[in-house]
Structure 1
Amino acid sequence: MTPSDSIVTAPAERRDLEGRNGRPVIDARNVAVDFKVEGGTVRAVRDVSFQLYRGETVAIVGESGSGKSVTARTIMGLLSKRAKTGPRSRIDYDGENVLAFSERRRRKLRGDRISMIFQEPMSSLNPVYTVGTQIVEAIRVHRRMSRKAATAEALELLRHVRIPDPEARLNQYPHQLSGGQRQRVMIAMALANKPDVLIADEPTTALDVTVQAQILNLIRALQQEMGMAVILITHDLTVVRQFSDYVYVMSQGEVKEHNTTEALFADPVHPYTRRLLASEPRGAANPLPAGSPVILEGKDVRVAFTLRRGGFFKPQYSELLAVNDLSISLRRHETLGLVGESGSGKTTFGQALIRLIDADAGKITFDGEPIESRNRAEMRPLRSRMQIVFQDPFSSLNPRMSIGQIIEEGLVVNGLGENRRERIDRVREALSAAGLPTDILSRFPHEFSGGQRQRIAIARAVALEPEFILLDEPTSALDLSVQAQIIDLLRKLQDERGLSYLFISHDLKVVRALCHRVVVMQHGRIVEEGPVEDVLTRPKTPYTERLVRAAFDVAA
């Protein structure tokens, strides 16, 4: 923590109390939460105070590890057994301290008067029960009602949250619904008993921008209709600006600053808040050198998958055309963005271009050489020249291997480096290029933050000295400030090494900051392409216009 970060700018009382009538529905004072861990205690939340009034939305923002979700779980009584609240902690709901309630009374409050929507609905919904069964349970736990009446109410709730064909959805399982539909089911369950307070913990992080806009607009419409108070936990500042009335900024377990949304964005006081607001992806790609040759080209690329339905004895087969005769070209030193909603085919297209999956038709050339018909052995000499960085670095880094082993493995497989000493030198050089210390070779992936793990994944790719890197959603799981660091790193590596990137993303802010050109995909087809500034400021198709509006003006 820098000396300036310790500036006291967060009093316990809100700054807009003069215009308020009545008491808050939630008044939290001096909330502190410690976790006992091996070797000591982690102070996750330290003396946090905030107030929430009926009918308003309060946003709690901050980076991963700031304590915002722990604060929300303290309100709900969902902390683990290792957690201990401080002796001065107090959370009043309608004037009563819920921290003093018995477990039975907390359980009655939870899901009835105070409800919560979690970040990942697939892990919050039970996969072995139908959607209808789970909503009915949420109703009957808190209200005496027949199963038939509760089922009728569950159907009405699904209509309320605007799920298409709600009668069919009642009998479906969570895995049969899309991410946006699962999140709507979670909202329906949270609203089943008409709560006074709804806590939305990163409710749209895993969703496409258009689905995100739909979910947030739905929550706001239901809030206005039911008079609920909403606590919105997020690190997306566009969402905060559009949907919240008051903002609390958290870092390292403390509230650094709070104010009305308008005042906080107009005149942030604390250095951390200023840093957070300045972390939104900014800048633009450096100009492309004149006469840059084409390094990767795809012509009429087609990828189809065979889907099987029906029983074992009477299976039915159908074809899903994931990539429908697409053509693109990428120049040296260029970053080409590939954008679209989930299921548009962008990742399938990217993987087909570098032959991680086989295309059914089309021509693919890398540095002038046709590669579409090469087998795995014939592709091996090219693998060091084309690399990939995935969305989730934790899944793509072997947890049993040290950082040194993970990065050196690619050098060994591709026969690079005369001996181990030379390979280790190249590993250290790659770590340094990725902005990491060179003394971490013996450490393991779990010892690093998300942003550091993504840098390790980039270092692994860079160690092979490639000419082209496929970047598949490399920043979507990262905080804003870490996103900005990764964007700067990718720009720096491109300038120093002349790299070409195919950047797959649904985050148009990052695309605008990093890419020279952008290709917009929908249902396996290209609907629009061109220079990034032209496409994002003057979209020619309604679909691109909808994507742009959802990314830069969520409320639209």
Structure 2
Amino acid sequence: MSTQGGQVISVRDLKVCYGGRVVADVPELDVGAGECVAIVGESGSGKSTTLLSLLGLTENAEISGHVRVCGVDVLTAPQKALRAIRGARAALVMQSPQAALSPATRLGTLLRRALKLHGRQGNDVDAALEAVMLDREILRRYPHEVSGGQAQRFAIALAIALGAEVILADEPTSALDVTVQAEVVGVLRRLRTERDLALLLVSHDLALVSTIADRVLVMKDGAVVESGPAAEVLARPSHPYTRELLEALP
């Protein structure tokens, strides 16, 4: 099913509960093609839970509302439909991708398996690696033989090779040093422009968010307390919590 109206992600009245306790309450969230939206807040604010719920990856959770990702109704779609969009159309990039990769399997084998699983050819692999500034030689390495920045860029390359329309990134640079952070953010920024890739970024780093996000949602204790254009929210915050986050910046 194709994406409608240019919106790759469309969320209305999303609530994620565990044991009757609301851990994420998001009234509205849209991400268009070529757009970056950031969800910010401290640990435990509901950012990552919101991200995972968009792909139906919150186990044992009670979820209500309306969630469409790449044209698929996530909350009502069968598992087969969800598996078809995960990775191939909507790719999840975690904070530590090395931990999600089999330590006994070369990166090239992992890539080929993912392509085969989603029925994709390997013709775009070189272009995907080039897009994230990786040499094809990396495919011969094991996960422990690459740096954190290389692992992040490999995860992004895998998403590109699979034809992803949107990347959902959960703290993708927090485990990296400042120089490598800038490298990864530069890759994501370029992909937005060159490939019209949508990006939903979860981060607690407002300085990083200010360099890439078009719009920002600020979450505290599971609720969205402020949202709007990034330039406006970060320059003229209206909620006390947002001001606290900004004042905490070095």
Bin for the TM-score computed over the shorter chain: over 0.9
The one-character-per-residue Cα deviations of 1:69-119 (angstroms, maximum 9, x if unpaired) are xxxxxxxxxxxxxxxxxxxxxxxxxxxxxxxxxxxxxxxxxxxxxxxxxxx
Alpha-carbon deviation of 1:324?
2.4
Q: Report 1 or 2 for greater relative contact order, CA contacts < 8 Å, sequence distance ≥ 6.
A: 2
Question: Which of the residues 501, 508, 516 maps onto 2:206?
Answer: 508
Cα 1:359/1:296, change in 2 over 3 Å: farther
Q: Which residue of 2 aligns with 1:429?
A: 127
Residue 77 of structure 2 aligns to which amino acid in structure 1?
A: R
The one-character-per-residue Cα deviations of 1:317-336 (angstroms, maximum 9, x if unpaired) are xx331112532111111000
The 4+ residue runs of structure 1 with deviation greater than 6 A are none
- Counting only pairs closer than 5 Å after superposition, residues 222-237 of structure 1 correspond to structure 2 as none
Alpha-carbon deviation of 1:369?
4.1
Q: Which residue of 1 aligns with 2:108?
A: 404
Q: Which residue of 2 aligns with 1:392?
A: 96
Asked whether the equivalents of residues 111 and 158 of structure 2 are also in contact (C-alpha less than 8 Å), the reply is: yes
Asked whether the equivalents of residues 40 and 202 of structure 2 are also in contact (C-alpha less than 8 Å), the reply is: yes
Alpha-carbon deviation of 1:479?
0.6
Residue 294 of structure 1 aligns to which amino acid in structure 2?
A: Q
Alpha-carbon deviation of 1:486?
0.6
- Counting only pairs closer than 5 Å after superposition, residues 199-238 of structure 1 correspond to structure 2 as none
Q: Which residue of 2 aligns with 1:416?
A: 120
Asked whether the equivalents of residues 15 and 25 of structure 2 are also in contact (C-alpha less than 8 Å), the reply is: yes
Q: Distance in 2 between matches of 1:506 and 1:325?
A: 17
Q: Which residue of 2 aligns with 1:332?
A: 33
Question: Which of the residues 226, 244, 248 maps onto 1:546?
Answer: 244
Structure 2 residue matching 1:439: 3-state secondary structure: helix
Unaligned runs of 5+ in 2: none
Alpha-carbon deviation of 1:528?
0.3
User: How many equivalent pairs are there?
Assistant: 243
Whether 1:493 aligns to 2:191 is yes
Q: Distance in 1 between matches of 2:89 and 2:186?
A: 22
Q: Which residue of 2 aligns with 1:140?
A: none
Structure 2 residue matching 1:360: 3-state secondary structure: strand
Q: Which residue of 2 aligns with 1:454?
A: 152
Q: Distance in 2 between matches of 1:367 and 1:454?
A: 23
Structure 1 residue matching 2:124: 3-state secondary structure: helix
Asked whether the equivalents of residues 332 and 498 of structure 1 are also in contact (C-alpha less than 8 Å), the reply is: yes
Q: Which residue of 1 aligns with 2:14?
A: 301
The one-character-per-residue Cα deviations of 1:211-252 (angstroms, maximum 9, x if unpaired) are xxxxxxxxxxxxxxxxxxxxxxxxxxxxxxxxxxxxxxxxxx
- Counting only pairs closer than 5 Å after superposition, residues 106-121 of structure 1 correspond to structure 2 as none
TM-score normalised to the size of structure 1?
0.42
The one-character-per-residue Cα deviations of 1:265-313 (angstroms, maximum 9, x if unpaired) are xxxxxxxxxxxxxxxxxxxxxxxxxxx722211111111112xxxxxxx
Q: Which residue of 2 aligns with 1:366?
A: 69
- Counting only pairs closer than 5 Å after superposition, residues 80-479 of structure 1 correspond to structure 2 as 293-306=6-19, 319-357=20-58, 360-383=63-86, 384-417=88-121, 423=122, 425-479=123-177
Asked whether the equivalents of residues 408 and 427 of structure 1 are also in contact (C-alpha less than 8 Å), the reply is: no
Asked whether the equivalents of residues 427 and 463 of structure 1 are also in contact (C-alpha less than 8 Å), the reply is: yes
Q: Distance in 1 between matches of 2:21 and 2:100?
A: 27
Q: Distance in 2 between matches of 1:327 and 1:506?
A: 20
Alpha-carbon deviation of 1:359?
5.1
Q: Distance in 1 between matches of 2:73 and 2:144?
A: 40
Give the fraction of aligned pairs with identical amino acids, expressed as a percent: 39
Alpha-carbon deviation of 1:493?
1.3
Structure 1 residue matching 2:174: 3-state secondary structure: coil
- Counting only pairs closer than 5 Å after superposition, residues 63-74 of structure 1 correspond to structure 2 as none
Q: Distance in 1 between matches of 2:72 and 2:108?
A: 33
Q: Distance in 2 between matches of 1:494 and 1:509?
A: 19
Alpha-carbon deviation of 1:429?
2.5
Question: Which of the residues 211, 227, 239 maps onto 1:529?
Answer: 227
Cα 1:373/1:486, change in 2 over 3 Å: same
The one-character-per-residue Cα deviations of 1:17-68 (angstroms, maximum 9, x if unpaired) are xxxxxxxxxxxxxxxxxxxxxxxxxxxxxxxxxxxxxxxxxxxxxxxxxxxx
Residue 400 of structure 1 aligns to which amino acid in structure 2?
A: A
Asked whether the equivalents of residues 345 and 523 of structure 1 are also in contact (C-alpha less than 8 Å), the reply is: yes
Residue 215 of structure 2 aligns to which amino acid in structure 1?
A: R
Cα 1:325/1:478, change in 2 over 3 Å: closer
Alpha-carbon deviation of 1:368?
4.2
Asked whether the equivalents of residues 359 and 372 of structure 1 are also in contact (C-alpha less than 8 Å), the reply is: no
